[in-house]
Structure 1
């Protein structure tokens, strides 16, 4: 009976997505003097390479894995991302987006490489739909690509919530748009996904994960935006949930100085961790396995506009994350001070340098749950 109910709910969701397509036909304006030809193509790409040097003996620079035999690779060059993408505009409101990361071929590419692969139809600013593989809106980081982040990479909580199907690249469908609540602009997104990551043949079970994001523009001048995120779902016939809130604000300190800030917090059931444990090594109650975290990211930007140098930035993200705070708490605190030089417009070229300090409540030898101090130099080039 429960399975029949879930199927009925999912059918209703899909019919809601398809109804506008079935009820709206294309029209041709006979008075149009200029014919717009389709398809139109827009290509984009991103290259990120880095040098990593560890300051903690016995810990791999890339994976963070501790080696008690001191055979760790502590200094290395690495290609983090080599993305190529294309947006194909098939009509005024209809486009298809594909994005692949060829740096994933350096290891087993199974379940990797293809990142975005979705079709999107936008009726107007109030409502649009997309279906395929995409990043569900569930926080600040999900709204920003990796090439415009104010730190080296995404946060720890982004990765773990991605493992649990709420963030990162997922397969499903989404309805999105914007509206006005009085004089306040509001954006929304409602997503239904399989919840088991990208490039999968099918869902791991019959359960789905449903999430919603509401974004409120409180002050356009200072970029003060408040976001609410929530999700519910079913994994192997067990109920799961996730919650989050976020806030951004920018402050102009002087003519060329801007302080940009981000604050984000999330909590939810860590079913990914629960089902990775052997049955005799976990309790019978999935609700006891919960993760939570928060980070604060201030970024000081000086827009220098000197020859090809566009801006200088200084940031330091602090993050607290605990992937199992109820049963086996072992919180991780991460400090990431960073300085960067921006060349061109929109981070076309970028050189970043800084440190990453990972500190656990307790270390577990021969695992990646181990304190690590890392020096990073990263180069970025992008076109769009």
Structure 2
């Protein structure tokens, strides 16, 4: 018995040492819990709802021009020269299924106030994010083909997007399209980024493509220093069975810190592209070559921002966007120039509550009576709330 006790006591130090050995292959944390993720189905799952409500009062400052910009004959048409309206009532739902898959749905309920055909639904896409170098999304979205596509859709720093944006959107180069897109960083520091994709090119909410040719686009974007970004865009495509056309352009955005309180924000963009809608609408026989139907535009958008930083007034912005657009510069050129001086009073950070006051001044080289191609001035007061 005495021999057995001695042998047991001799084994105790060895047993104690063995119990303190760290198992480097164990999946248990220091609390004895299993840290291995065996199912990523709901990893980082979340649901968020956001939106923007934009209400507006407009008044025409030009005789015999209504609030839509159309010249009218007062003998036969009284014309609506001032009006309140709801321009945007957007609701966006984003669902993160897990850390790789997400879905985004954006609708504009304000479209129900008019003819909602082919409207209302704006974004409707699924995104797969492998890492910062590779992301792919499929569905309905805005191709990254300029500054206004890259910026959040619910931040509008002046009356509206540029005339160029809407002109290129009507021709399938911008705005909401149905297709597939890939994007991500090229460099580890994120200073060089790429965007590329393929899509139908016949605009949003269409059940099918209107021809068998798909639009292709690419954008390369680089950041120089801390506050300057330059980019180049290019694309090819068609609309309604036309022959293949193209579009290309470049842009830059920058910020100059003048002082602790004052900042100068600058945006500028130039683009040229095929005007498919003008080609399709032309009834001439035979038609000129598609290469004759070209549009081009440029805008310069400086904004002087004062950081007020009081509890109720966060910032004040003074801006004056200048834009030049010619939708038929190779045939029947009639350029449109627009100047929009604007004052923004920002009551909540990141444009969550903003009051905007300004005037849109439009000048055409050749006015066309009884149409919207007519020089005019429009005053506006606009309140936008992000949620």
Give, in angstroms, the shift of residue 307 of structure 1: 2.0
Aligned-partner Cα distance in 1 for 2:62–2:242: 43
- The equivalent of 1:23 in structure 2 is none
- Alignment check: 8 A CA contact 2:321 2:341 kept: yes
Give 1:53's aligned residue: 59
Q: Give the distance between the partners of 1:283 and 1:360, measured in 2 at CA.
A: 26
Distance of 1:343 and 1:146 partners within structure 2: 20
CA distance in structure 2 between the aligned counterparts of 1:257 and 1:333, rounded to whole angstroms:
29
Partner of 2:308: 304
Q: 2:271 aligns with which of 258, 266, 272?
A: 266
- In the other structure, the counterpart of 1:245 is 250
Match of 2:108 among 101, 111, 134: 101
1:185-217 Cα offsets, whole Å, 9 max, x none, are 211111111111111111111111100000011
Quick check: 1:205 aligned with 2:206? no
The answer for the alignment partner of 2:97 in structure 1 is 90
In 2, Cα distance between the equivalents of 1:215 and 1:89? 27
Q: Which residue of 2 aligns with 1:3?
A: none
RMSD: 1.9
1:271 CA drift (Å): 0.8
Match of 1:159, SS state, is: helix
Given that residues 186 and 217 in structure 1 are in contact (C-alpha distance below 8 angstroms), is that contact kept between their aligned partners in structure 2? yes
Find out whether 1:142 has 2:149 as its counterpart. yes
> Which of 154, 179, 184 is the aligned partner of 1:177?
184
Q: Displacement, 1:64?
A: 1.3
Residue of 320, 325, 342 corresponding to 1:321: 325
CA change 1:184–1:128 in 2 (3 A) is closer
**Are residue 290 (structure 1) and residue 297 (structure 2) matched?**
no
Is 1:195 matched up with 2:175? Answer: no
CA distance, structure 2, for counterparts of residue 237 and residue 54 of structure 1: 38
Cα deviation code 1:285-333 (max 9, x no counterpart): 1110100000000000001011211000000000000000001100000
Compute the displacement of 1:237 (Å): 4.7
Q: Distance in 1 between matches of 2:37 and 2:248?
A: 51
Q: What does the per-residue CA deviation read over 1:325-377, in whole Å, with 9 as the maximum and x for residues that have no partner?
A: 00110000000000011111211100000100000001011111011100010
Aligned pairs for 1:114-129 (under 5 A) are 114-129=121-136
CA distance in 1 between counterparts of 2:266 and 2:355 reads 21
Is the counterpart of residue 340 in structure 1 residue 347 in structure 2?
Answer: no
Matched residue count? 350
Which residue of 2 is the match for residue 215 of structure 1? 221
- Aligned equivalents of 1:214 and 1:290: distance in 2? 23
Report the secondary structure of 1:147's partner residue: coil
**Equivalent residue in structure 2 for 1:366, among 367, 370, 378:** 370
SS in 1 for 2:369: coil
Q: TM-score of the superposition, structure 2-length normalised?
A: 0.87
Flag structure 1 segments of 5+ consecutive residues without an equivalent: 1-28
For structure 2, the residue ranges without an aligned partner over 5 or more in a row are: 1-32
2:171 aligned partner: 164
Taking the aligned partners of 1:30 and 1:266, their CA distance within structure 2 comes to: 56
2:159 corresponds to: 152
Closer/same/farther in 2, CA of residues 203 and 76 from structure 1, 3 Å limit: same
Cα distance between partner residues in 2 of 1:337 and 1:112: 30
Question: Which stretches of structure 1, 4 residues or longer, exceed 3 Å deviation after superposition?
Answer: 32-39
With structure 1 as the length reference, what TM-score do the two structures score?
A: 0.88
